[in-house]
Chains A and B, each alone.
Chain A
Amino acid sequence: MGYQLEKQTADEIFNCLKQDYDIFAPKLFAGEGCFSDTDVIRYGKVESLDEICWSRRSDYSFKEAFLPVNEVLFYFTEDSTSVPACRKKPALIFLWSCDLHALRRLDAIYLTNGPEDFYYKRLRENARFVLMGCEETCDTGFCVSMGTNCTEDYDLYLKVEGDSVLADLKTGEFQKYFDGKDCREQEVIPDHVTENREKVTLPRNLSTETFSDSVWESYGSRCIGCGRCNFVCPTCTCFTMQDIIYRDNENTGERRRVWASCQVDGYTDIAGGNSFRKNQGERMRFKVMHKIYDFEKRFGFPMCVGCGRCDAVCPEYISYVNIINRLAKEEA
């Protein structure tokens, strides 16, 4: 059901939603960028529609509002454990089409790749998603190449245009917030881009020779292994486990899972001191192949959604897009 309404009415609806949901959206954190007097756009709890950064893709994806960077799995004492409660209010998360497609990747990993993940499942069941449209392409995204530029999988679509707001309700859950409000029914089609500046062709028939392709060495020698490409990625799901023993009582503690990066030292370390992928070239190969090749073999669609955040954040200006296109070209 699509509606056109006044901004003021939308603000009232937003305030009602706030009572029932914790609302997360991309917003500007002034001065919190990497460098002095620079900002970062990342997810945070928002109190009004005006706080939301609609038009510029966030530097970090919706993932951090959805999957905690640090998540306590259980607390332990000598002979018992307890699982922390889930969030009290469901989360309402604003995101773009590419990110909503990323959610499907997270679902694949956490829900259909072996047993369902208890912690993911309860977060997932407690989350709703509001689509934000893209009037124009972002600078590094290639959603059109990846087929992630459009989506129907949202619960709610919102667009603020000056004093006017467009809304599209895909699920009945939000109908009650619009009922009785001054809304005009009309068809609403989410804004989406049909062309990006970046275009990507995925390689389709790589051979084992790709393993020793010179591209890994040439880009690997430039990579500093900071992991930014993973931390901004909406589809990276790797985590590591940390057992924390409380300093004041060594019989108690907690087990956390914490986001991990396949580019950062320690990721492939195993007991006995072995490490599988020691240099950055090997790590980059692993990441790229997983994003555009191996994942698809298992799940039927590529992992990468083409949001382009990894290319925008890399401090060494390594272009993942160029790597993929180079592999595709070599194959052809």
Chain B
Amino acid sequence: MGLDINTKLAKKNAYRIGKARGEGASRIRVPGGYLKAEILGMVQEIAEKYGNGIVHLTTRQGFEIEGIRLEDMDEINEMLQPIIELLDINQKEPGTGYPASGTRNISACIGNNVCPFANYNTSEFAKRIEKEIFPNDLHFKVALTGCSNDCAKVRMHDFGIIGMTMPQYDPSRCVSCQACVKGCRSLSVDALHMENYKIVRDHEKCIGCGVCITKCPTRALTRSPKKYYKLTLMGRTGKKNPRLGEDFLIWTDEDTIVKIILNTYRFVKEYIDPGAPGGKEHIGYIIDRVGFAEFKRWALEGVELLPETEIRECVYWSGIHFDR
């Protein structure tokens, strides 16, 4: 009997159809790249039982178990079940593997679990978004990074989330050592200067990176109790017009970001090219076609921005054009 595989369904089930006839790879998404070490052992077990013993660490913080036989997908899905449960992946039916693959894994830098520069817990926020948007076949890329260093390269994503903090200054604790001024100048955007021996912050320039706070030796500078974020939009790689995501909201909050992402799914359903190959079209190309104003109208539906949030009313992208 010939090998009879619905490749479209297999791909949605997070399998790659490989070069070698009858072979593929099982793709394991790890939201936020944050996992219990015991999952590594489970991945190893699948790779050694059904694959060729090799695992590729994907660019989006997943595992790709190489060399599996496509006819073994059902058995592999059974073995994936404890992984899916440990990672708390939304699933329609247990034992059936990852239910969709269009919306890509939400990737994140290590965040404030470990990193001294990070301004929030990236993996926790990644998991919150995961719960809201998966499973989904539409082609969305979301990434989170703890601070403006953008180690997670979120500006290469449709939605880039960059942690910010609003520096709080207590002049009575300040000793005028200028560690913050020097730190901001050498590591960040030179938004601080001293007047009458006290620190003045240029809010227009400040990117909320938090360097001044980590440099302060007396806790005169501390983080805001509220966590802030910058939301960047529609960065992408690709054949036509690779480009960096542009700032949309600055000093925004988690709830707003989640709402905007969910609204964007509705926008895409409305405007996606019905003939798009595989039912997938990068959101950025849809926005290029229908205009940013229309996207913004959909994205901000039911959203109440914080008073301190700065919004870019018009967003223009540049990048490299190979398609003109």
Contact = CB atoms under 8 A, between A and B. Distances in A.
Given A37-B121, A69-B172, A261 B219 contact: no
Interface stretch (B30-38, B173-181, B277-285, B310-318): B173-181
Given A37-B121, A228-B217, A70 B172 contact: yes
B175 A231 contact: yes
Contacts of A32: 219, 222-223
Interface stretch (B1-9, B151-159, B208-216): B208-216
A53 interface: no
Interface string B200-230: 0000000000100111111100110100000
Contacts of B216: 34
Interface string B169-202: 0011111110100000000000000011100000
Q: Most chain-A CB neighbours within 10 Å: which of B146, B177, B219, B225?
A: B177
A69 B172 CA distance: 7
Contact of B218 (A29, A31, A69, A240): A69
Contacts of B177: 226-227, 261, 264
Interface string A197-232: 000000000000000000000000000001110010
Contacts of B172: 68-70
Contacts of A64: 173
B118 interface: yes
Contacts of A231: 175, 217-218
Given A242-B197, A244-B197, A37 B112 contact: yes
Interface in B97-153: 112, 116, 118-121, 146
Contact of B179 (A33, A40, A226, A245): A226
Interface residues of A, number: 30
B112 to A, nearest CB: 4
Q: Most chain-B CB neighbours within 10 Å: which of A36, A244, A259, A261?
A: A36
A37 B176 CA distance: 25
Q: Most chain-A CB neighbours within 10 Å: which of B213, B217, B223?
A: B217
A36 to B, nearest CB: 4
B175 A261 contact: yes
Contacts of A240: 176
Interface in B216-251: 216-219, 222-223, 225
Q: Most chain-B CB neighbours within 10 Å: which of A35, A68, A228, A242?
A: A35
Contacts of A36: 112, 118-120, 146, 163, 165, 210, 223
Contacts of A60: 218-219
Contacts of A226: 177, 179, 215, 217
B219 A42 contact: yes
Given A37-B121, A227-B217, A69 B197 contact: no
B61 to A, nearest CB: 21
A15 B218 CA distance: 30
Nearest to B179: A226
Interface in A13-38: 29, 31-37
Nearest to A226: B217
A260 interface: yes
Interface in A240-283: 240, 242, 244-245, 247, 256, 258-261, 264
Contact of A35 (B116, B175, B176): B116
Nearest to B118: A36
Nearest to B216: A34
A260 B217 contact: no
Contacts of B218: 60, 69, 231, 259
20 contacts: A29-B222, A34-B213, A35-B112, A35-B214, A36-B120, A36-B210, A37-B120, A37-B121, A42-B219, A60-B219, A64-B173, A69-B173, A69-B174, A69-B175, A70-B174, A240-B176, A242-B197, A244-B197, A258-B176, A264-B177
Given A226-B215, A227-B177, 5 more contacts: A36-B163, A37-B120, A244-B196, A247-B196, A261-B217
Closest 5 CB pairs of A and B: A36-B112, A32-B222, A228-B217, A242-B197, A226-B217
Interface of A: 29, 31-37, 40, 42, 60, 64, 68-70, 226-228, 231, 240, 242, 244-245, 247, 256, 258-261, 264
